Structure 1
Amino acid sequence: MILALYLVFVIGTVSRSAAQISTRFDQAPLAYTLSAVAALVYVVALVSLSLRGRAAWWVSLVALSVELLGVLAVGTWSYLAPQMFPDQTVWSHYGQGYLFIPLVLPVAGLWWLLSDRGARAVSEGTA
């Protein structure tokens, strides 16, 4: 389920940020750059979560932690300085435009990684 949601977010964020940056970057450069950063984080998370082994586990842990910190930082920033976000990003307002899934997804992913099942994926894979 987590991988399926990451795949949806990869497709959505990569295509949306590419369209925004290529057609109207001058209107909201900060928001569109943050959308591209979010897309990159989702790609890394999807790939690393799809793999087994200690290295993939660590990359996943870092990617999901960066994602959670990004959602919290950008979400807070978008409320404190709304003029900086004339257009929404996937992480603005804690992912409100995406049903708050961007806030819940890294928490669910981190929970899985730190669970016994996630630990087994590390021990079953190769470094």
Structure 2
Amino acid sequence: MSTRSRRPARRTTGLGRVLVALYAVFAVAAVSRAAVQIATRFHEAPLAYALSGFAGAVYVVATLGLGRTGWGWRRAAWAACTVELLGVLTVGTLSLADARAFPDSTVWSGYGRGYGFVPLVLPVLGLVYLRRESRRS
């Protein structure tokens, strides 16, 4: 039996577990919020609502990528956390520079101000965790 088959299918301890839980909460919240907004008021702020949906998808990928082991999942987690960080920085800056472009907020507006800036901190923690894990391998 190889060592690969003995490894657990997910990360289950420490910071990894906390990150997976936080990402899961944000995934459910962002996808749910975006689904309601897109279904009921998409015409009011299509860019903001589409970005909320995109953010929700990124959180789902990050949750799965951080929660599972293996090269493919690790790569998905790296990509999701990187896209999230770039999204938070870009949308955060644009939403402050041109508030008219974002008539309704997204999870990333104002660098995640509406969510206690967790969307800004979360990808940084995810990337630090992934880097630490890759050094251990």
Q: Same fold (TM over 0.5)?
A: yes
| CA displacement 1:13-58 (0-9 Å, x = unmatched) | 0100000000000000000000001001000100111110112111
Task: State the shift of 1:120 in Å.
Answer: 6.6
Give the residue type in structure 2 aligned to 1:110.
L
Question: What stretches of structure 1 of length at least 5 have no aligned partner?
Answer: none
2:85 matched to 1:74? no
1:1-127 equivalence runs, <5 A: 1-115=18-132, 118-119=133-134, 123=137
Structure 2 Cα separation of the partners of residues 47 and 100 of structure 1: 22
Q: Measure the CA separation in 2 of the matches of 1:87 and 1:68.
A: 20
Q: Tell me, which stretches of 5 or more residues in structure 2 are unaligned?
A: 1-17
Q: CA RMSD in A?
A: 1.1
With structure 2 as the length reference, what TM-score do the two structures score? 0.85
Task: Please list every run of at least 4 consecutive aligned residues from structure 1 whose deviation after the TM superposition is greater than 6 angstroms.
Answer: none
How high is the sequence identity, in percent, across the aligned residues?
A: 53
Provide TM-score, normalisation by structure 1: 0.91
Bigger relative contact order, structure 1 or 2 (CA pairs below 8 A, ≥6 apart): 1
* Paired amino acid for 1:94: Y
Aligned length: 120
Aligned residue for 1:2, secondary structure, equals helix
